[in-house]
Amino acid sequence: MSLVFESNHPLVKQKVAALRAADTPPPAFRQLVRTLALLLGAEATVDLPIRPTTVRTPLGDAPGLELDGPVAIVPILRAGLGMADGLLDLIPEAQVWHIGLFRDEATLKPTEYYNKLPAHCRARVAMVVDPMLATGGSAVRACEILRDSGIRSIKFLCLIAAPEGIARLSEAMPDVPIHAGAVDDRLTDIGFIYPGLGDAGDRQFATG
Ligand code: PRP
């Protein structure tokens, strides 16, 4: 069973509520996605591997810390792009590995259409980002792709999760922690998270 972290940060709760509102327009929606990813990213990186270093201040030397090895941000296209921007605000030196998956509307199964992982994947930790964890099919597929590329440490970050998606990702990838802005009630019979926020890709990119 994966560790599941539902954020209790008041700003996360406030911003998730704003994200849900049907009258939040795409520019505000995109900004909320970006800031929420940064807030969730801060919570999800408390155990990031670090090593000691020394920095020269204007007055002398001070002990410091630096990241111990590369971090990869893995947005699931296309809705994950906005979250990747927020994580890059937090970890500007991170690599970004894009994975394109869309969910077949009839079967709800993910179809892979793009993969921009480097030829040799090297990351101490890979952070998969997608605003919505619905059935969990897309998240599981993205984690499988990373595992097949030799990545051991994976974290999954989403803005809203359905219990069904948490159960599926936990079962398939029990050592991948799940960080969610909110855990909602259920999936509808057409696979939408309820009450959710609608389609996160369409709302970010004004294609609804
Ligand atoms: C949505 C969402 C996830 C996926 C979640 O993407 O952003 O990637 O569906 O569903 P799942 O947990 O049941 O797999 P969508 O396929 O609509 O593509 P988009 O990001 O291009 O809008």
Q: Which atom of ligand 1 is nearest to the CA of 103?
A: 16
Q: Is 1 helix (H, G, I), strand (E, B) or coil?
A: coil
Ligand 1 pocket, Cβ-based, cut-off 6 angstroms:
76, 78-79, 101-103, 108, 110, 130-139, 165, 191, 199-201
What is the distance in A from the centroid of ligand 1 to the CA of 54?
Answer: 44
- CA 21 to CA 35: how far, in whole Å? 16
What is the distance in A from the centroid of ligand 1 to the CA of 133?
Answer: 8
Active site residues per annotation: 103, 107, 199, 202
Task: Look at residue 208 in the predicted model and tell me its pLDDT.
Answer: 83
Question: What is the mean pLDDT, run by run of 10 residues, along the chain of 208 residues?
Answer: 93 98 98 98 97 98 97 98 98 98 91 94 96 97 97 98 98 98 97 97 95
The pTM score is 0.96
Q: Which of 47, 63, 82 is nearest to 201 (CA)?
A: 82
Q: Is 62 helix (H, G, I), strand (E, B) or coil?
A: strand
| Structural domains of the chain ordered from first start | 4-205 (3.40.50.2020)
CB 114 within 8 A of CB 100: yes
ipTM value for the complex: 0.97
Structure tokens at 33: 């996605």
Give the total residue count for the chain. 208
Q: Which of 138, 189, 204, 207 to mutate to test the pocket of ligand 1 (most atoms within 8 A of CB)?
A: 138
Task: Look at residue 2 in the predicted model and tell me its pLDDT.
Answer: 78
Residue nearest to atom 7 of ligand 1 (CA): 79
Residue nearest to atom 9 of ligand 1 (CA): 103
- CA 165 to CA 192: how far, in whole Å? 11
Q: Which of 194, 95, 178, 83 is nearest to 140 (CA)?
A: 178
What is the distance in A from the centroid of ligand 1 to the CA of 132?
Answer: 7
Can you list the alpha helix ranges (DSSP code H) found in the chain?
10-20, 26-44, 80-90, 137-148, 163-172, 200-205
Q: Which of 114, 132, 176, 187 to mutate to test the pocket of ligand 1 (most atoms within 8 A of CB)?
A: 132
What is the distance in A from the centroid of ligand 1 to the CA of 176?
Answer: 19
The answer for residues whose C-beta is within 8 angstroms of residue 72's C-beta and 6 or more apart is 94, 95, 96, 97, 121, 123, 125, 126, 127, 151
- CA 89 to CA 178: how far, in whole Å? 21
- Give me the residues paired with residue 179 across strands: 5, 157
CB 83 within 8 A of CB 113: no
